[in-house]
Structure 1
Amino acid sequence: MKNDNSVKHSKILLVEGKDEKNLCECALDILKIADVQIIDCEGGSNIAKRLLLLSKDENFSLVTNVVIVCDAEKNILSRIHSLQSALASAGLPNIRSDTLASESFNPKVSAWISPDCQSNGMLEDLFIKTLESTELMKLTKAFVDSLRCLPKDISPGAPTFPTNIPKAIAHACLTATDPLVKGIGLAVKRGFWDLNHAAMDQFRSFLLTSFADATPSNVATT
């Protein structure tokens, strides 16, 4: 992992990937939450390594908040257990299975597991919810569903029905952008993803609660 693991701020936000990083940067800006160091773990499987490296940093004793944002994927219970194991290995306060937050505040630890901390899925599912009632989403879902008629050709590169439906729908939606936005993370930056939508209320509340005592300054990213 090429990113810097050194502690630069008292509030640490570990994100699964670049899409989560872009989302959190914009959300923190909207909520006027600053002094947060955002670390891209470059994949959910690297979160444990990041936590361990951070916990060994000479300045880690200054950290007051550790927040994790990642996907549930196919099994949210498995993701929760994975995070709990990673936190235990790093010697950090562990999150409860029901609240996804620690009871200890030294440091305070909390986690957001997309799409809603309760369901299997991913960040794309959350993005889709913000467009659920639009004509664009109706047409996009119809298009993706129409791909079921494609022959089941297992040849390399052959067109076939997508196995990751939320990701297919999200990327198909983005074809309606001009200039073309490649990825939901960039959709946030370009204003195509409405962070003030009601479907984002829970996520915004999560950030406000996790960084309740944040003070104005800068958002550092590595």
Structure 2
Amino acid sequence: MSSKSQQLSQPKLLIGEGSEEVLFFKALLNYLKITDVQVENYGGKQGLGNYLQQLYLRPGYREIVSLGITRDADDSAKSAFDSVCSYLKNAGLSVPIKPNEITGNNPQISVLILPDYQDNGMLEDVCLEAVKTDPAMQCVDDYFQCVNTVAKRQPKTKDMAKARIRAWLSSQIEPDKRLGEAAQAGYLPWNSPAFDSIKQFLQSL
């Protein structure tokens, strides 16, 4: 069933870039015991505009009181935020002045730019910060150092966080889980301060 026709069954809506984000946020919401948030993905960065344009056609839209939008900063937190704001404006929705600011009503709008509203990066950077004290991370560091030394190659800088979190995930008892699945399985330490800003965002929806 297309998301365009799916019922909006909760008063709050949280949207992320893809399916991994959906699994991640559902797991964290469950940890926080927040039950009134529906989580969906908007089909990648380029899909956000169409998602927002079609949102008002969805059954249950008039009952939505809060919309939270999440996006990776990638190369620029400012550019990522500006892009989200442009899509919001084009869809006739309220536009916040800065990330993590609540604006408008019915629905109120807030935007989370990962990893921390200001630095370049992505969700994987937050997760790496959360697991940095795991002894396996030394092995991850050694692995990439070895590959760089022996094979004379390494992931591009923009892809390093994804590569490192995948290496860490491969150290788990079930090594084939992707990040969202790992979140669902309880591999991530939700009590880590690294997740505090995300928790605050979710609790403010």
How much is the aligned-residue C-alpha RMSD, in angstroms? 2.0
Residues 112-191 of structure 1 correspond to what in structure 2 (within 5 A)?
112-149=112-149, 160-163=153-156, 164-191=159-186
1:101-123: CA deviations, max 9, x gaps? Answer: 24322311111111112211011
Contact map agreement 2:42 2:48 (CA 8 A) in 1: yes
Asked if 1:193 corresponds to 2:194, the answer is no
CA distance in 2, matches of 1:131, 1:112: 21
Following the alignment from structure 1 to structure 2, what is the Cα–Cα distance between the partners of residues 196 and 172?
A: 22
Q: What is the rounded CA distance, in whole Å, between the counterparts of 1:70 and 1:124 in structure 2?
A: 12
Aligned residue identity for 2:201: F
For 1:149-181, what per-residue CA distance to the aligned partner results, in whole angstroms no more than 9, with x for missing partners? 3556xxxxxxx4211111111001111112223
Correspondent of 2:198 among 179, 200, 203: 203
CA offset at residue 138 of structure 1? 2.0
Equivalent pairs counted in the alignment come to: 202
Any stretches of 5+ residues in structure 2 without a counterpart? none
TM-score by length of 1: 0.83
Deviation at 1:133, TM superposition (A): 2.2
Give the counterpart letter for 2:185 in structure 1: R
Give 1:64's aligned residue: 65
Identity of matched residues, %: 27
Q: Structure 1 58/133 Cα, relative in aligned 2: closer, same or farther at 3 Å?
A: closer
Provide the rounded CA distance (Å) in 1 between the counterparts of 2:170 and 2:61: 43
Any idea what SS the aligned residue of 1:146 has? helix
Higher relative contact order, chain-length normalized (CA < 8 Å, sep 6+):
1
Task: Return closer, same or farther for 1:149/1:101 CA change in 2, 3 Å cut-off.
Answer: same
For residue 101 of structure 1, give the secondary structure of its aligned residue in structure 2.
coil
Does the 8 Å CA contact 2:114/2:123 hold for their aligned counterparts?
A: yes
Q: Which runs of 5+ in 1 are unaligned?
A: 153-159, 211-222
Correspondence 1:85 to 2:86:
yes
* Structure 1 position 94 matched with structure 2 position 117: no
Compute the displacement of 1:18 (Å): 1.5
